[in-house]
A and B are shown apart, each in its own frame.
Chain A
């Protein structure tokens, strides 16, 4: 019981702060990770929209992880792992929401086109 209370205490206390080094590394990385996608889109150096889109999405994911680690101080130990568990649960819901909405609405659009079901034949 007492060890559990102590673990909980240190669990929420230790990772909530950062160090100057940590904040500066996080800031430096996020500046680079923001500048690259803006540069890619503004100058259109690749000349290929699909490739550019894939790269900037990948960079956004990396930058979100950087912010999570260096600014939000996420790790598997904080609050005995409960924050990480809540995050994973939320991410699952986010993925279901996003992919589900896009998938359903894409198929709805494709199947509801007047060309497929001719409107003149409708009652």
Chain B
């Protein structure tokens, strides 16, 4: 890298060198920073939903309280699914580093399956709650609960759609720089969702049981 730069620098005028260098780095050069700022905006959405839950989470309107509704063993299972999907996505990134297309896709598939398991358990929990009459309309606590946990679940859903899309793109084009960049963005998105889930299981489920 450095040798080619100096060679170009010696042979040609300075502006040409800048142009060549810019061209090499321009595509996707600031994608990571831009995507990080998008994640920070997402973080603010979740902050607002957490604040709403914090304000309304104790208003049961004579309805069921967290203690009546939540099943911590189910939440622990859910949490472990998301944690496992985080480490398998890490393995996908490590195999991507080694240019192994098949292994990368395999780890992405495993990540997607853990994500689906998480979503399946969450939907089972929601269906169970609604079956018991604990719908979002029942109380302010349940409205804010479904808004917060549901938004997180929606993010995981879109993450899985994105993951499947990238598996197809990696299958079609291989691990080209554009696909690597996309995989790195999804990596940030996926791990960020895990960070949000730490807040959810702590504030909503565990603190709810202590109320």
| Residues on B with beta carbons closer than 8 Å to the beta carbon of A38 | 72, 75-76, 79, 206
Is B37 in the interface zone, CB < 8 Å from A? yes
Q: Are A79 and B32 in contact (CB under 8 A)?
A: yes
Determine the distance from Cα of A34 to Cα of B84 in the docked complex, in whole angstroms: 12
CB distance from B109 to the nearest CB of A (A): 18
Interface residues on A, range: 35 or more
| Residue ID in chain B nearest A28 by CB atoms | B87
| Residues on B with beta carbons closer than 8 Å to the beta carbon of A102 | 51, 54-55
Q: Are B51 and A93 in contact (CB under 8 A)?
A: no
Chain A interface: which of B21-29, B114-122, B150-158?
A: B21-29
CB distance from B168 to the nearest CB of A (A): 23
Q: Are A72 and B191 in contact (CB under 8 A)?
A: yes
Q: Are B202 and A60 in contact (CB under 8 A)?
A: yes
Q: Which of B195-211 contact A (CB under 8 A)?
A: 195, 198-199, 201-203, 206-207, 209-210
| Residues on A with beta carbons closer than 8 Å to the beta carbon of B43 | 90, 94
Is B145 in the interface zone, CB < 8 Å from A? no
| Residue ID in chain B nearest A30 by CB atoms | B83
| Residues on B with beta carbons closer than 8 Å to the beta carbon of A87 | 36, 40
| Residues on A with beta carbons closer than 8 Å to the beta carbon of B203 | 60
Determine the distance from Cα of A79 to Cα of B30 in the docked complex, in whole angstroms: 8
Q: Are A60 and B47 in contact (CB under 8 A)?
A: no
| Residues on A with beta carbons closer than 8 Å to the beta carbon of B37 | 86
Other-chain residue from A5, A16, A68 in contact with B25 (beta carbon distance below 8 A): A5
Q: Are B209 and A93 in contact (CB under 8 A)?
A: no
Determine the distance from Cα of A59 to Cα of B79 in the docked complex, in whole angstroms: 15
1/0 per position for B1-34, CB-CB distance to A under 8 A? 0000100000000000110011001000110110
| Residues on A with beta carbons closer than 8 Å to the beta carbon of B44 | 90, 93-94, 97
Other-chain residue from B25, B51, B97, B210 in contact with A17 (beta carbon distance below 8 A): B97
Q: Which of A86-112 contact B (CB under 8 A)?
A: 86-87, 89-90, 93-94, 97-98, 100-102, 105
Determine the distance from Cα of A105 to Cα of B203 in the docked complex, in whole angstroms: 18
CB distance from A1 to the nearest CB of B (A): 7
Other-chain residue from B17, B29, B194 in contact with A71 (beta carbon distance below 8 A): B194
Once A27-B87, A30-B83 are accepted as A-B contacts, the answer to whether A98 and B40 lie under 8 Å apart by CB is no
Is B146 in the interface zone, CB < 8 Å from A? no
**B: which residues have CB within 8 A of A?**
5, 17-18, 21-22, 25, 29-30, 32-33, 36-37, 40, 43-44, 47-48, 50-52, 54-55, 72-73, 75-76, 79-80, 83, 86-87, 90-91, 93-94, 97, 184, 188, 191-192, 194-195, 198-199, 201-203, 206-207, 209-210
- Residue pairs across A and B with Cβ atoms less than 8 A apart, 17 shown, are A1-B18, A2-B21, A5-B21, A16-B32, A19-B94, A23-B87, A26-B90, A41-B209, A49-B210, A56-B202, A57-B202, A64-B199, A67-B191, A86-B36, A89-B40, A98-B50, A101-B55
**A: which residues have CB within 8 A of B?**
1-2, 5, 8-9, 12, 16-20, 23-24, 26-27, 30-31, 34, 37-38, 41-42, 49, 52-53, 56-57, 59-60, 63-64, 67-68, 71-72, 78-79, 82-83, 86-87, 89-90, 93-94, 97-98, 100-102, 105
